[in-house]
Structure 1
Amino acid sequence: MRSEVDVTAGELVVRAREGDAEAWNALVGRYTPMLWSIARSRGLDGPVAEDAVQATWLRLVQRIDALWEPESVGAWLATVCRNECHALFSAPFAPPPRTPQDDADPSPGPESRSVDRDRLERLAAALRAMPERCRTMLRMLAVSATYTEISAALELPAGSVGPIRARCLRRLRGSLDE
């Protein structure tokens, strides 16, 4: 029997439509990191980002029978998540975007914290200076999103993801080397 990793997204969708709990678990495990990446790239964090991810899964539960191309579930989820993030971010009392300092680990000693903070500030500054498309792509790559998922999330042709990725990484390296 094939592991869930070897099963295509389309097969998982078909099985989930039939009520297969393992298929649902595999879909959630496969696509939740991508959804979190999209939510974070849109400036959402904490409970608001969680709301966007949960609302995206709810939309799939509600509309799984209407998916015309089950194999494209990743792209469909990315689009829905972007829309949910937009709705939540434009809602009253939307939280401010996260800053890299929010993620700093306070447990090491003062010298180590100072070095880590400096390194993180340089990386954050370099990322802030990059176009939004590069920032989003790098975040998605960090959570192992596929080129198809990145293509859908950024509304790019799938063939342009690799070259854009290379340019973004070169630009980031160049900023950090300065």
Structure 2
Amino acid sequence: MPYLSVPGDIDEKESTARSEAAHLVALAAQGDQVAWGRVVDHYARLVWAVTHSFRLTDSDASDVSQVVWLRLLEHIDRVDPVRVGAWLVVTTRRECLRVLAFRKRVLLTYEPDAFDVVAVDQPEPDAELLADERAVDVRRALESLPDRWQQMLAMLMADPPAPYAQISEQLNIPIGSIGPIRGRCLDKLRVLLAS
């Protein structure tokens, strides 16, 4: 008569296997190299199965596996020995996701000189920073001008610029004076920016 497994037998076997694995992890945490080797042997298939569920290449799967074992070695004294299997699964998944995210950023090309030519129309890396600093200087210089001049320059720099008739009416400046005042404003700004 064939042997039928009873659920209690399976639970006992699993419980015994877990307690043996937990004991090995505890020994490995104390520096036992034989126990460490047995822990790796015991859980290697689990780590391999997780890496392959992400459909990584063999080299990426090997890299992930090595990193996972290194992480376990680094944190073995903090990992609950009973839950080391779950810890390995979570760590392996995270590492697989990291590898997949990195792969998305890599641009594969077959042309050996594809990256030799640099785009010439791109600004220098610090050009934007310098432009921002210059804009702050210009704003400060503008703020030091009389209010009426600031308003007039704002209207002239609007897109599209306000017509002279509108500027004359709003600021109560004769149309013939707008050009010369504008010239004095710009001269004053040049002096302020030069100092």
TM-score between both structures, scaled by the size of structure 2:
0.43
Considering Cα pairs closer than 8 Å and 6+ residues apart, tell me whether 1 or 2 has the greater RCO.
1
TM-score between both structures, scaled by the size of structure 1:
0.47
